[in-house]
């Protein structure tokens, strides 16, 4: 009998056994009381599915596109700093794992391997995640990403100030490996300090980007632009007015600001505000195929997973990432059929039961 992990929870439990305690804490941590991290999950659990029955669901289609890129199912890999803390092959293994599952990987500015090497590790589609830490360094990164073959720039917008996690402060955590994208550009390393989310995050040498500079960023490249971390209809509205191509609804896994809603709670208002002018994706708290289905039913085009990629790596490198993604594929396929659906791009309305009072509620005047 195989003892392969059956669920993402199995991957999590095994990763915990395999990883040094400080690395484990760094991956799992959320900001402050970690309330948003927990709420990412509890908000998913508050939604329930409304299965439709006695349908012909024999042929099911899980593939979709994101900004024109075909992916075999609507689950992608989040950008996340330094994967070597979970496996020596780091992002190279993650790229291979995502490639084996025919899905898209987003690569962090703060990867341990340089973007060119990660691009060469697999043929699967990739987007480059950008931390803006100064005009010169952003220009260098964006040009390199375009040259290397990344298909979009994902600008992370939810980190205007550092957010050291208390677990990491207690553990005196320091990321043990250098940032791969700066091997040949060590003059920028000081500016990038802490973008790997270790507690040594210092303020950027230039002010964080504002809406005013988005045109400048867009002028650097012909690649589409995705904003990661948008949390309100108001900002989604400005984003589409500014011609942004995609919005990744995210709480950063609850790692930046605590005491916000869970990502899935923010999704409906953002989908509504983006009026079909930008694709909307979601990360934060996705652990089951049913979570994927719930997000799609509420208007996300695809979702992404963050911590689970480290769990997959820690369990078995590239094979572990692939195995973790295949668990989600299997679960999504099961839930799709069980809900009487056959195509992730054409889900019918009424699939989700939303409890009264859930989500945005009222805002203070």
Ligand X SMILES: Cc1cc2nc3c(=O)[nH]c(=O)nc-3n(C[C@H](O)[C@H](O)[C@H](O)COP(=O)(O)O)c2cc1C
Q: List contacts with ligand X (CB under 6 A).
A: 26-27, 40, 78-81, 108, 110, 129, 156, 197, 228, 250, 252-253, 255, 283-286, 305-307
Nearer to ligand X, 67 or 311 (CB): 311
Phi, psi at 47, each rounded to 5° = -90, 140
Tabulate helix, strand, coil % of the chain (nearest 5). 45, 15, 45
Nearer to ligand X, 165 or 237 (CB): 165
Distance of closest approach, residue 51 Cβ to ligand X, in angstroms: 26
> Helices 289-297 & 35-46, crossing angle to 10 degrees?
80
Distance of closest approach, residue 358 Cβ to ligand X, in angstroms: 19
Which residues are CB-neighbours of 277 under 8 A, at least 6 positions away? 240
Residue ranges with strand state E in the chain: 48-49, 64-66, 69-71, 75-77, 105-107, 126-130, 153-156, 225-230, 246-249, 279-283, 302-305, 352-353
The one catalytic residue among 87, 252, 322, 334: 252
Nearer to ligand X, 27 or 47 (CB): 27
Nearer to ligand X, 213 or 343 (CB): 213
Nearer to ligand X, 89 or 197 (CB): 197
Nearer to ligand X, 15 or 336 (CB): 15
Between CA 98 and CA 27 the distance in angstroms is: 19
Exposed/middle/buried for residue 213 (C-beta within 10 Å: 0-12, 13-18, 19+): middle
Distance of closest approach, residue 155 Cβ to ligand X, in angstroms: 9
Pairing of strands 352-353, 48-49: antiparallel
Between CA 255 and CA 228 the distance in angstroms is: 13
Contact between 81 and 111 (Cβ < 8 Å) = yes
Between CA 35 and CA 261 the distance in angstroms is: 9
Distance of closest approach, residue 219 Cβ to ligand X, in angstroms: 22
Phi, psi at 349, each rounded to 5° = -70, 160
Between CA 250 and CA 160 the distance in angstroms is: 15
Distance of closest approach, residue 39 Cβ to ligand X, in angstroms: 11
Nearer to ligand X, 37 or 274 (CB): 37
Q: Which 8-state DSSP code applies to residue 347?
A: P
Cβ-closest position to ligand X: 306
Between CA 362 and CA 316 the distance in angstroms is: 45
Between CA 159 and CA 255 the distance in angstroms is: 10
Distance of closest approach, residue 303 Cβ to ligand X, in angstroms: 9
Distance of closest approach, residue 268 Cβ to ligand X, in angstroms: 19
Question: Is 132 in the active site?
Answer: no
**Matching residue, tokens 């809603």:** 261
* Catalytic residue positions, numbered: 252
């Amino acid at each position: 009998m195989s003892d392969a992990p059956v669920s993402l929870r199995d991957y999590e439990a095994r990763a915990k056994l395999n990883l040094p305690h400080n690395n484990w804490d760094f991956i799992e941590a959320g900001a402050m009381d970690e309330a948003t991290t927990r709420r990412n999950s509890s908000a998913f659990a508050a939604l329930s599915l409304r299965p439709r029955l006695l349908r012909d669901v024999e042929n099911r289609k899980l593939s979709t596109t994101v900004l024109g890129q075909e992916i075999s199912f609507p689950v992608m890999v989040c950008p996340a700093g330094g994967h070597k803390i979970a496996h020596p092959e780091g992002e190279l293994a993650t790229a291979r794992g995502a490639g084996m599952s025919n899905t898209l990987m987003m690569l962090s500015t703060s990867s341990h391997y340089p973007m060119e090497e990660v691009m060469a590790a697999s043929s699967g589609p990739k987007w480059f995640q950008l931390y803006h830490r100064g005009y010169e360094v952003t220009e260098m990164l964006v040009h390199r990403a375009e040259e290397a073959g990344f298909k979009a720039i994902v600008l992370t917008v939810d980190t205007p100030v550092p957010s050291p996690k208390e677990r990491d402060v207690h553990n005196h955590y320091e990321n043990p490996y250098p940032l791969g994208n700066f091997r040949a550009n060590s003059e920028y390393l000081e500016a990038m300090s802490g973008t790997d989310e270790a507690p040594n995050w210092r303020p950027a040498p230039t002010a964080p980007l504002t809406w005013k500079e988005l045109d400048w960023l867009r002028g650097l490249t012909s690649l589409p632009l995705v904003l990661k971390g948008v949390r309100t209809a108001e900002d989604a509205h400005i984003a589409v007015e500014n011609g942004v191509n995609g919005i990744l609804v995210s709480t950063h896994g609850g790692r930046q600001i605590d005491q916000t809603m869970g990502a899935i709670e923010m999704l409906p208002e953002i989908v509504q505000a983006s009026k079909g002018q930008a694709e909307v994706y979601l990360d934060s708290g996705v652990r089951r195929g049913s979570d994927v289905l719930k997000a799609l039913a509420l208007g996300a085009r695809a979702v992404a997973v963050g911590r689970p990629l480290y769990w997959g790596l820690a369990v078995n490198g590239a094979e572990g990432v692939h195995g973790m993604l295949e668990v989600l594929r299997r679960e999504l396929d099961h839930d799709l059929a069980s809900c009487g659906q056959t195509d992730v791009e054409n889900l019918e309305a009424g699939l989700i039961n939303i409890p009264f009072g859930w989500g945005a509620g009222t805002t203070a005047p």
